[in-house]
A and B are shown apart, each in its own frame.
Chain A
């Protein structure tokens, strides 16, 4: 069997397994498998032993291929999904600041939430969005959602659906148009924020469902940022948090905190430390911390074990790579 055939076979097996898992999920064949604690610890020990074995091989001068690295990352990400091991989530001061802002707002406060990301960044940002929206619903805040990214408003709708299901809320408990509204996407990047400073309606003539702005009870009296009590930005790049700070905060005095991907979070630190941002939820770790504060544990908390394992594996392979470098003196630690 040549390499092409092997790759095609692996792809076919993965596809079949995915279809079975999907059918199982939608038909309720299982409620999710969980390893026992003993099995989990045994698997962790075996994994650690095999990494040590690779280290010994490397010291002996036998280098591994990149497929082995891929395999270990795959194992480190997927196995913890089946493990029932709890970790202590540490809440950073920046995350506490976001929560403190919400605690300080009176019921009925109007909060603007901008969804500036797409499905590619959703695994990191969607859990933050769900926890934030859930906390706002608990505190009876009024949410005005929008997006500077074309797919942001759809992510907003999905987040609302998910959190309402998880909290057991119905459309009668949280009424669209009165408790929350989705104004949709508007093209123009930073100009949208600038023009919203003058008039929201000039940018959003209708909501995402085509309902005229003036017919929506929640927003008909909202002219511009001066009618907004607080704002939250979920961002994965441009346009995003930086643009909201530069125009919304600096020019129009908006109070803003944000949720960012771990990659983007370092770029907003200057604004956070200067007080232009009141809080930051950066990456999945902070997302889990925010879920802990809001007591709405979701995917961020669930996936933290996978993140911990994968980071450990990356650190282990960086170490092995350095051993290979000093042992063989080669630039690449990979097998030729």
Chain B
């Protein structure tokens, strides 16, 4: 029974939601069922928070590698949680949002989290440059095509690319770097992206059918 009941639920809900797309009288069923996602998400928030505390406390207790970072993680988590739940610095009543100006939560978000997030993103520039320097090689024909495409896209995504080839006559404007970049994005990239999307679509249909028909049972765990 531990296997049959979940299977029966999957088959029933799967078919019901497919039917709801094609039959107007039951078309709102999909939206109604999606409410369950919200309910599960609420539990997931608690589970996620609890798990974070458990893992980092364990790391601290055992003095594992880089245990100092766990202090920062737990400190940040508790600080933001306290600032949000207690609405520290609240300029209004209890119903005031934590995003209101003057609230500690909002201040930390704007003054600490936003600059830190931007810094993490900015570091990518250094790693991309270093990785490109080390790995972008014209080893063979395919790699050379990739290299030329990268050069055009890199130049095409700056005003310098336009300036570098703006002297070209109108009849050769297709060879201007920004136009070449648009061509690569609109044709070469488009073809690849469409192939990926179609592939994913077919995969999703196939996997959904396997789930609905009970062929795919790995989601049941060992019981499956």
* Contact B159–A304 (Cβ < 8 Å): yes
Does B173 reach chain A (CB closer than 8 Å)? no
Closest to A67 in B: B130
Specify the main secondary structure of chain A where it touches its partner. Answer: helix
- Asked whether A283 and B157 contact (CB < 8 A) given A90-B178, A92-B182, A269-B185, the answer is yes
Residues of B in contact with A (beta carbons under 8 Å apart) = 28, 30-31, 34-35, 37-38, 41, 95-97, 99-100, 106, 109-110, 113-118, 120-122, 125-126, 128-130, 132-134, 136-139, 147, 150-151, 154-155, 157-160, 162-163, 166, 178, 182, 185-186, 189-190, 193-194, 197
Closest to B191 in A: A270
Residue contact B99 to A69, C-beta cutoff 8 Å: no
Chain A residues, Cβ within 8 Å of B30? 194
* Cα distance, A93 to B42, chains bound together (Å): 43
Query: In the assembly, what is the distance between CA of A260 and CA of B35, in Å?
Result: 29
Q: Which residues of A contact B (CB under 8 A)?
A: 66, 69-70, 72-74, 77, 87-90, 92-93, 118-123, 151, 153-154, 157-158, 184, 187-188, 191, 194-195, 197-198, 202, 208-210, 262, 265-267, 269-270, 273, 283, 285, 288, 304, 307-308, 310-315, 317-318, 320-322, 325, 331-334
Give the residue of B114, B155, B163 whose beta carbon is less than 8 angstroms from that of A119.
B114
Contact (Cβ within 8 A) B132 A311: no
Residue contact B160 to A119, C-beta cutoff 8 Å? no
- 17 pairs from A and B in contact (CB 8 Å cutoff): A66-B133, A70-B126, A73-B126, A93-B182, A151-B113, A157-B99, A188-B34, A210-B96, A265-B185, A266-B185, A269-B190, A270-B197, A288-B159, A311-B160, A314-B133, A322-B137, A325-B137
CB distance from A305 to the nearest CB of B (A): 8
CB atoms of A121 and B190 under 8 A apart: no
Q: How far is the CA of A310 from the CA of B117 in the complex (A)?
A: 20
Task: Write the nearest CB–CB distance from A173 to chain B, whole angstroms.
Answer: 18
- Closest residue of chain A to B111, judged by CB? A22
